Every structure is written in structure tokens, then in C-alpha cells.
Structure 1
Amino acid sequence: MTINARVLGIAEQWIGTPYRHQGSAIGVGCDCLGLVRGIWRGLYGREPELVPAYAADWAERSGEERLLEAAARHFRPVASFRQSLPGDLVIFRFRPGCAAKHAGILARNRPSTAVGECGPDRGGTDESDTGELCPGESGPGEGAEDEGVQGHPAAVPDHFIHAYEQSAVTRSTLVPAWRRRIAGLYRFPEV
């Protein structure tokens, strides 16, 4: 099994875990960083590094690219969205001039009626293909442009799994508004 398939398998087990700032416990609570840390522990049996306590507005206050710097220390960079695969780490920047502060795992759509999945009639928050985000997400984005898709359409990520603030870990559609906010793409290292 590839590393990306293993990452996706672990990430999908976290769907429905309630959102909890600084949390990283499957079924109990996590934030976006806690989700990534939990997947890392599931793959490698340990934390990637010690994470100090952080405030919800840490990125706005520090101005440092802490999330991107940590990703560069532990993951392999993916050069472009065209080269990304389901199971890759995606990092988002919500506003130009602010540090990147949200992370998720690229995924493919899977038909589902499970609670915690964004989309009409799926029990989660609705996202349309018009580029609108789920309610509660805001801010103009800056980041990688959607470079189009080449290669195998079945492998192209069109969703992502993330800890959705004030809700739970969910699968969301990677609409253009999210794609414009991509600040970095990374692959988990081989085990």
C-alpha cells in the first residue's frame, strides 16, 4: 500500500471527530494541526515534533510562516497542484500578507450520506461548485493557482479532509475559492 493510500485511510477514520482547538485525539477532538499530527502518529508511531501551546490567532500575531516551515522540515514538497495526489498535505493561506494557518489532506470524492461530509444532502455544511465556502469561512485568498489537471483523472484531488472550526473533521469540496488559498503542498515521507 502506498504512503498516500495509508494517509487517506487514517484521515477518513478521523471524519466526525469534533473540532477542539489544540486537540489531537481521534473521536475526542482536534483542530487542523491535531488532525495532521494524529495521522503522523498513525503512520510513524510518534509526534513529528513537540508543539507548544498556541492561540487561535497565532498566525495573525506572529506573522511567521510556522506551519509552512514545519511542513518543510517533515514532509517532501510537491511542486504543483498538477503533481499532487490524494493523501498529500495541503496548507492554506486565508488572507494575503498573513501566515498560512490551515491544513488538510487532499482526497477524492466518495459518494456518502455520512454526517460530517460537506455537500448537499450529506448531513454536513453545504458547499457549492460556485466557489463559495462553507458558512463561517471567509477572507480573500492568495496562493497557488489552479493549474489544470493532466494525467489520470481518477487520481486528481477534488476534495480534502480537514478539521472544520466549530464543527468536526469533515470532507469538503476543493472548490476554486479553496484552491486559490493553497500556500503549500507536501507528501508524507515513506515509512
Structure 2
Amino acid sequence: MTPEERIVAEARSWVGTPYQHQCSTRGAGTDCLGLVRGVWRAVIGAEPEVVPPYTPDWAEPAAQEVLLAAALRCLCPKPVGASAPGDVLLFRMNDRAIAKHLGIQSSLNPARFIHAYTGHGVIESSLSLPWERRIAARFAFPKGAF
């Protein structure tokens, strides 16, 4: 199994986990960051840094790109259009908002992604045009870590 296939398989194993802010436990509760953290732990090992407490709005009132900054420290940036299964997607929920939602691309044809969504838990969704337009950044997990 390739590293990308391992990432997608692990992310799919989280489907059905309830949404729980600031949690990262498969089957018990997670948020979107917790899903990415849990996949990292299962596929790579220890997390690269301690995650400080965060609010559900991700510092939106202060217009601070906290999640984007963390992703740039820990993941490998890719062009937004360079889609591959296993990529971490960072979304802006509207054009003027900070980036505050994460998902993992699970397939290309059809385009799908796995994410923890308030009120739904971890689900696999179509990467439809409305979601695709919200992608602020795309990342790969570090290759040397596998």
C-alpha cells in the first residue's frame, strides 16, 4: 500500500466518529483538525508539535490565519490544482474569512474528501464545486516521514 493509500484508508476508518471540538479520538470524538492529527499519528507517528487550545472560530474575529500557519509549518504545500488522494485540504468558508476547516482528499474521480463537520461527525463528501471554490490551500503529508 502506498503512503497515500494508507492516509486515505486511515481517514476512512474515522468515518462515523462524532464531532467533538478539540478532540482527536477515532470512534469517540473529533473535529476537523483532530481528524488530520489522528491520521498523522496512525500513518507517521508522533505529532510534530503540541496543539494549543483553540476556539471554534479559529481566531476569526482577530483575522489571524492560525490554522494556515500551522499547516505551513507541518505539511508540504502544493498548488491548489495539483489534486491527489491523501492531500490535506484547507478551506475558507467564505471569501473574506480566515481558513478554518480541514479535510483529506479521498478520491479524484469522483472528487471526494473526508472531514469532520459540525452536526455530522466524520463523513466522506463530494468535493463539489461549492467546496472546491473554498479551497484556500492544499498540502501533502511529509514524504520523508513514512
TM-score range, shorter chain: over 0.9
* Cα offset, 1:156, TM superposition: 4.6
Q: Which runs of 4+ in 1 moved over 6 A?
A: none
- Cα deviation 1:86-118 (Å, max 9, x = unaligned): 11000000122221000000112xxxxxxxxxx
Q: Distance in 2 between matches of 1:181 and 1:41?
A: 27
**Percent identity between the two aligned chains:** 48
User: Does the CA contact (< 8 Å) of 1:24 and 1:38 recur in 2?
Assistant: yes
What residue is the counterpart of 1:140 in the other structure? none
Is 1:14 the counterpart of 2:24? The answer is: no
Is 1:169 the counterpart of 2:102? The answer is: no
Amino acid at match of 1:166: G
Which stretch shows the higher mean deviation, 69-78 or 23-32?
A: 69-78
* Cα offset, 1:189, TM superposition: 1.0
What residue is the counterpart of 2:46 in the other structure? 46
Amino acid at match of 1:4: E
Gaps of 5+ in 2: none
What residue is the counterpart of 1:178 in the other structure? 131
Amino acid at match of 2:95: P
SS of the residue 1:68 aligns to: helix
Q: Distance in 2 between matches of 1:16 and 1:107?
A: 15
Tell me: CA distance 1:183–1:172, structure 2 relative to 1, closer, same or farther (3 Å). same
Pair member with larger Rg: 1
Higher strand share: 2
User: TM-score of the superposition, structure 2-length normalised?
Assistant: 0.92
